[in-house]
Structure 1
Amino acid sequence: MVAMFFTSGDVLNRALACVISLGIEEGNSCGGNDRSPMEKEVLTLERLLKREGKYAVTELNKLEDSIQEQWIRKKHENLRIKHTIGDKSRDFVSPPKVSLDGCRKDMNASIGRICEFTGTKIIFWDLREPFIYNLYKPSVLESRLEHLMESFDLVLNELCDIILEPLRDRIVTGLLQASIDGLVRVLLDGGPSRIFLPADAKLLEDDLEVLKEFFISGGDGLPRGTVENLVARARPIIHLISLETRVLIDDLREVAQGGRSRYGVDSKTLLRVLCHRSDSEASHFLKKQFKIPKTAA
């Protein structure tokens, strides 16, 4: 279900990425397999969260108590009937405690998936134009993440109007997780029109701090530890972007020969960072070693 919001393509092939990028710009579409906006809007937040969330949080306990009460009432009625006809063979026995813990567990898992889906839908569909397609275009300096915070604020306000308070942190955590997924996608699979230079790393770090503080919201949002753990995924990538091209090439060669990266990443990540460089050294290396043509950016 979540996968329908993601586009496919070989991120290491700049030529193919260029074709995909042109297709998006001309057709304003992720691809031929995408569902229409109307079809996706059927999966509304109200239907996904309000119904199941309300039932799981407020109604399940009521149902559990109701079953228990009705069971006791029925036993009392049966006991009175027996006494009326003179049958005193058995006294009243307290019923076992009714438990719907299995149902709670399944509904809790379902709500977790809905929260994940909701965050992904918001970032990769509702905010796809400003975030996935256009963030850091034509450069990091000209298109900062902080410019999207107003859109994030509107989204969170809408969510808070829909969801129950006990589910707030879970749904907001799903949105933060999807935001980091989107940022990583932009940095590593951004296509030929995105170029990241070592000098951009400081700006990217600043953007990550803006995102982090937005979700912490001065102590009114998510716990700081939760936010720190989630944004930590993007930090190694930003660190790689801060490195000179020669350093990245040397590390990639070491990993390709069976060694370990000095920066704790795999060869695909190093290669993706190099694919977003525009200098002649990176272009020559990629063309010679991997037959990847020069970026069209």
Structure 2
Amino acid sequence: MHSLEKTISKNPGIVPSNRLRFRNSRKAQTNNNSYFENVNFSILAACQHVSEIAAYRLVFHDSSPAFYDKLYVGGVTRGQIRPLLKIMKQNLIQMSTILTDKAQPLAMKEVMKASFDAFLMVLLAGGTSRVFHRHDHDTLQDEFEQLKRVYSNNLEGLVIPENIVDGEAAVVEGVIALMGQSTEQLIEDFSIVTCESSGIGVMGNGQKLPMPPTTCKWNRADPNTILRVLCYRDDNAANQFLKRTYELPKRR
């Protein structure tokens, strides 16, 4: 496109006269006219869309047996993420052989975002086969750092700036921080943010906390996110609170 743009600019006679009149009428509005302005925008949008679809397929389909289907099923033990990291690295290297150099940074960023979303789903929407304890926090934090390094370290020339990786990882790290809090602190924080978000203010005698809606925008200040951490917390205090407040059955 850039080559065609340059050629046409140097040889305006090859462009139909009505196109030239349209172009000349726009010169007063902007000095940055392009014969292919709309095409360039469309190409960028298409690249973004295709990269996102390909990334989520790679993470949620191709890597699912080692990721969402398996990671931390039955409990957390140190080193569980290593097989996943190996598969992710292999997939990224294969991706680099298929894509052009210019397409690789965008595709890799989308893969990173998809893998962080999948890790978040493991923690907050992993089904009945997963439970977490407060002491799992350090292992989860360490293993997520290893996942981050897949993208910030040089891998076959593919690397994402560390500040971008940290920015995309902030939500997951916030949830992992919640998982390191005591159950009592989680219950207190949950009660406060639920009352604030629902407009209740102060709970009256006999009044029950409303069930927070699922926003699908999880973060450490979101009541639904804190509730999910409590639901996956395997201890008596969490079980009793959930049973008393929402009549939810015990995890085990």
Cα distance, 1:63–1:293 mapped onto 2, change above 3 Å: same
How far is 1:63 from its partner? 4.0
Answering whether residue 128 of structure 2 is matched by residue 187 of structure 1, we say no
When you count helix as a share of all residues, which structure comes out higher?
A: 1
CA contact (8 A) 1:195 1:276 kept: yes
Q: Which structure has the larger Rg?
A: 1
Q: Is 1:284–2:240 an aligned residue pair? A: yes
Distance 2:124 2:136 in 1: 14
CA distance in 1, matches of 2:225, 2:171: 13
Q: 1:253 to 1:122 in 2, by over 3 A?
A: same
**Aligned-residue CA RMSD (Å):** 2.5
- Quote the residue 1:56 is aligned against: none
What is the match of residue 38 of structure 2? Answer: 102
2:212 corresponds to which residue? none
- The reply on whether 1:133 has 2:37 as its aligned counterpart is no
Moved more, 233-242 or 66-75: 66-75
> 1:21 maps to what in 2?
none
> Does 1 or 2 have the higher relative contact order (CA < 8 Å, sep 6+)?
1
Which of 143, 154, 164 does residue 90 from structure 2 map onto? 154
Pairwise CA distance, 1:251 = 1.4
Please state how far the C-alpha of 1:158 moved relative to its aligned partner.
1.0
CA distance in 2, matches of 1:267, 1:71: 61
Map of 2:13 onto structure 1: 72
Q: Which residue of structure 2 aligns with residue 271 of structure 1?
A: 227
> Which letter does structure 1 place at the counterpart of 2:98?
I
- Separation (CA, whole Å) in 1 of partners of 2:52 and 2:95: 14
Q: Equivalent residue for 1:20?
A: none
What whole-Å deviation, never above 9, does each CA across 1:29-67 have from its counterpart, x for those lacking one?
xxxxxxxxxxxxxxxxxxxxxxxxxxxxxxx23444565
Give 3-state SS (helix, strand or coil) of 1:128's partner.
coil
Query: Which of the residues 49, 52, 55 maps onto 1:116?
Result: 52
Q: Which residue of 2 aligns with 1:208?
A: 144
Could you say what secondary structure the match of 1:131 adopts?
coil
Is contact 1:136–1:142 with CA below 8 Å preserved after alignment? no
Equivalent residues, number? 216
- Distance, in Å, in 2 between the alignment partners of 1:190 and 1:71 is 60
Given candidates 153, 156, 159, the residue that maps to 1:217 is: 153
With normalisation by structure 1, the TM-score equals 0.66
Stretches of structure 2 that go unaligned for 5 or more consecutive residues are 17-22, 25-32, 202-218
TM-score by length of 2: 0.78
User: Cα gap change, 1:217/1:142 in structure 2, threshold over 3 Å: closer, same or farther?
Assistant: closer
2:140 is aligned with 1:199: no
* Residue-by-residue CA offset, 1:175-194 (whole Å, 9 max, x unaligned): 00001100111111111211
Answer whether contact 2:63 2:84 (CA < 8 A) is retained. Answer: no
Query: Residue type matched to 2:225 in 1?
Result: T
SS in 1 for 2:38: helix
Match of 2:192 among 216, 237, 254: 254
**Alpha-carbon distance between aligned partners in 1 of 2:95 and 2:54, rounded to the nearest angstrom:** 10
